[in-house]
Structure 1
Amino acid sequence: MIRCKLYPSIKRVGQARKWFGILACCGFAASISNVTAHGLDNPPQWHGFANQGFSYTTENNFLGESSEGSFKFLEAGLNASWRALNTLQISGQLLYRQTGNAPPDGVEVDYAIADWRVLDTFDYGFGVRAGRIKNPYGFFNETRDVAATRPSILLPESIYIDYLRELMHSSDSVGLYGHSELAGGTATFYAVFGRPILYDTTIPAIIYTQTQGSLEDEAIYSARVGYEDGSGIWRVAVSVADFRADYLAADTEPLFDGKSHITQFLFSAEGYWQNFRLTGEYQRRLIRTENVYFPGLTLKNKGDGYYLQLSYDFNVHFSAYVRWDRIYLNNQDKKGVLYEARTQEPAHFTYAKDITWGARYAINTNWLVGAEYHRVDGTYWLPDLENRSAEAQSSRWDMYLLQVSYRF
């Protein structure tokens, strides 16, 4: 399997989806303005957040030129929600992100949703959502941009890998959701089907090689089934995500038109005991690439990722945590020996083993500060946009992160 190399281009794949988001946002804003102008009894609710981070690495680069110190870790969002009817809620969010050396793509529509609660009682409920929807996957995918809802400054890269964020985070789709109150707790279900929001920088990560080709007929399905104990002491979930697309090779490269198919299965569990919280997730990723490297050739790959994080709350303001995080491109070649022999690229491209120590302090309900230290062995999730030379990459490296966050 060839490791992905990311190009610096950030042009949107599929301008139609960009205009979909813009029109959805304009319609949402117009609705909000109309409601405000008429002074209805149920005005829209506005909220927002801003996160500014700093990264420093002893070797390699992550989130900018971090070997010299980088502030290229900025997230800011403004969202609003309005209950138009007792059974209909409209919500949306504008988001600005700069992560590393990739130039920011301006303010974008992060989500824009019409949510119709078809049935809603104490014992069970069912609803339909349509628009630009955040995909249900794991515990943290839908809230990954808000610092206060993340378990750490940087989410576990084994599961929530940054260079696949656009693929997994949201889609222009239709979703179904529901819940049922059982004797001991609450069971939930959420599924969406639609088209993912992709950039040119995401395509090499999907095809797993350098390419200036394009994708068409992209489709993604994502679903999660969960259960939470009635006392709130523990919760579990099982998620699945399935992505399919046709690949069109560029005329200037030695690749061929083909197909890409990525399926991910994720098991999540979390438990509380006194001031301790233990969170873990395990993922199996299946990758199938047809005809891309040679007509009639199908490549299959099976990789694993998992983490375990232990947190302790000293009081309502201060908490600390430690995390063990692992990801492997191929679970039959965890040390990358076969990969190195086949591709002549470093074995450490195929894995990353990260031990993280961190602490957070909530000054009040609005302000949050955090610090994190990562000891990493491997470069699987390093972006090549900031690490152009494979020979210059070090397999063992340290990373320090600081972040200040504000929300209202």
Structure 2
Amino acid sequence: MSILVRFFASLILLSTWSIASASELQFNGFIGQGAMVADDTQFIVGSDDHAFDITEAAFGVSWKPMEHFRVASALSFRQWGELYDSKVKFDYLFAEYTYHFGDETLGVRGGLFKNEAGFYSSTRDVPFTRPSIMLPQSIYSDYFRDAQLHIEGGDLFGVHQIFDGTLDWHLAFGKVDVTEDLERNVMGGTELGEFDSEHYYAADIEFQNNYMRLGVTYYDAEVSYAAPMSGNYFPGDIQLINWVFSGQFRYQNFELTGEYLTGDRIINGLVFPEQFGELKEPSLGYYLDFRTYLPHEVELFIRFDKHIDNADDKDGQDYENSTGIPAYFAYSNDWTIGARWFPSHDWLLAVEYHQVEGASWVTPVVYPNPSVQAKNWSMFALQVSYRFQW
């Protein structure tokens, strides 16, 4: 943990010890438990074809000792089958200053916080604030989550009332909080080298009213790679430079959401020697999600999610010719149907089924294993969640 994060950790602890003087103190949290069953894949479930260690939990505190100043922190626990090792860590940990003038707000925060890429990135780990158990992997990749999600740095933001809605914007900079999960999901094991953050820059703007939600995000994230002393690996880095365009439209009990990602993935080293040079691949991903809201707090949805590793090689044939790995590891087409039910304000039951062609986001992504991953595969997921606040 860096000096900056330790500083804000001390600040949070001092804040919670001073409860008696607090003008606004809030606690909140949640716990979610799920299960997954899959056919013709080991993604998340491993070799058993099922996983019951799908657990998420968080406990957060927000303290506002004076009008313009707030400190906030949350500890989280996450276990997502074979994709993430169980661990308790800071989910966010920051100090924030805001200034209000009329209906307008300007603010700045520093510490550890989540990025704002797309509609769901900053709240993707909370079952109640994401649209499904698994988010669309074309935009919210689970295997590369570590290289994008938790930012240690600063965030300048604003909220403005315009026309008949609200305009939010963020300008963020810093470094991402990298863990061993990234090494395992990308390279295939923690002994196959080590990733570290180089930089993260992002700009996000979003408009929302009662009928629609529109957003644009630009981000530039880079992680460096230190190769092991032996083996066929080389030091280098991975850089993502992407745009995400988001739109959501609501009419009565119906909702249509779509997001589109385009940009570049730039790779130096890793499995390529220095003389190979830079590998630059255009990124492409999008999804469309249609859902209806029924009586008794029930949601039904159907979604198509498409991801292509290299937009210049949409069918993966060039990938197969150059690597010998089947072409279907270069793209993914995911059809998902699902339902969410809120039996009360604090409880959520979610269920969904995925039918997938391709495996571009199946781990490990550098050297995938065709013997345990079919071209066409499926996954069923179930999760129950509870939240609290006081």
Shared fold, TM over 0.5: yes
The change in CA–CA distance for 1:115 and 1:271 in structure 2 (over 3 A counts) is: same
Q: How does 1:2-401 map to 2 (within 5 A)?
A: 16-17=1-2, 21=5, 24-34=8-18, 36=19, 39-40=20-21, 42-65=23-46, 68-101=49-82, 104-117=85-98, 119-203=99-183, 212-216=192-196, 218-229=198-209, 232-292=210-270, 293-296=272-275, 297-384=277-364, 389-401=369-381
The change in CA–CA distance for 1:382 and 1:289 in structure 2 (over 3 A counts) is: closer
Which stretches of structure 1, 4 residues or more, deviate above 4 A after TM superposition? 19-23, 203-211
**C-alpha separation in 1, matches of 2:125 and 2:208:** 23
Secondary structure at the counterpart of residue 162 of structure 1: coil
**C-alpha separation in 2, matches of 1:41 and 1:109:** 22
**C-alpha separation in 2, matches of 1:206 and 1:402:** 26
1:153 Cα offset (Å) = 1.3
Instruction: Say whether the 8 Å CA contact 1:94–1:110 is kept in structure 2.
Output: yes
Aligned to 1:6: none
Deviations along 1:362-388, whole A, 9 cap, x unmatched?
010111101101111111122239x97
1:239 Cα offset (Å) = 0.4
Instruction: Say whether the 8 Å CA contact 2:227–2:233 is kept in structure 1.
Output: yes
1:256 Cα offset (Å) = 3.3
Instruction: Say whether the 8 Å CA contact 2:21–2:65 is kept in structure 1.
Output: no
Secondary structure at the counterpart of residue 289 of structure 2: strand
The change in CA–CA distance for 1:294 and 1:331 in structure 2 (over 3 A counts) is: same
1:217 Cα offset (Å) = 5.8
**C-alpha separation in 2, matches of 1:125 and 1:131:** 20
1:166 Cα offset (Å) = 1.4
Instruction: Say whether the 8 Å CA contact 1:181–1:187 is kept in structure 2.
Output: yes
Query: Would you say how many aligned residue pairs link Structure 1 and Structure 2?
Result: 385
1:44 Cα offset (Å) = 1.5
1:59 Cα offset (Å) = 1.5
Amino acid at match of 2:177: I
**C-alpha separation in 2, matches of 1:316 and 1:28:** 40
More strand by share: 2
1:62 Cα offset (Å) = 3.0
Secondary structure at the counterpart of residue 44 of structure 1: strand
Name stretches of at least 5 consecutive residues in structure 1 with no aligned partner.
1-15
1:316 Cα offset (Å) = 4.7
Instruction: Say whether the 8 Å CA contact 1:55–1:71 is kept in structure 2.
Output: yes
Instruction: Say whether the 8 Å CA contact 1:263–1:286 is kept in structure 2.
Output: yes
Amino acid at match of 1:399: M
The change in CA–CA distance for 1:217 and 1:185 in structure 2 (over 3 A counts) is: closer
The change in CA–CA distance for 1:60 and 1:22 in structure 2 (over 3 A counts) is: farther
The change in CA–CA distance for 1:317 and 1:306 in structure 2 (over 3 A counts) is: same
**C-alpha separation in 1, matches of 2:373 and 2:313:** 20
Name stretches of at least 5 consecutive residues in structure 2 with no aligned partner.
none
Aligned-residue sequence identity (percent) comes to 30
1:176 Cα offset (Å) = 0.1
**C-alpha separation in 1, matches of 2:72 and 2:254:** 34
**C-alpha separation in 1, matches of 2:360 and 2:211:** 34
1:66 Cα offset (Å) = 7.3
Secondary structure at the counterpart of residue 149 of structure 1: coil
Cα RMSD for the two superposed structures: 2.4
Instruction: Say whether the 8 Å CA contact 2:25–2:61 is kept in structure 1.
Output: yes
Amino acid at match of 2:9: C
The change in CA–CA distance for 1:259 and 1:400 in structure 2 (over 3 A counts) is: closer
Deviations along 1:290-346, whole A, 9 cap, x unmatched?
355122411110121100001100125111000010000011211111111110011
The change in CA–CA distance for 1:319 and 1:375 in structure 2 (over 3 A counts) is: same
1:214 Cα offset (Å) = 3.1
Amino acid at match of 1:24: F
Deviations along 1:213-239, whole A, 9 cap, x unmatched?
33456111122011123xx11010000
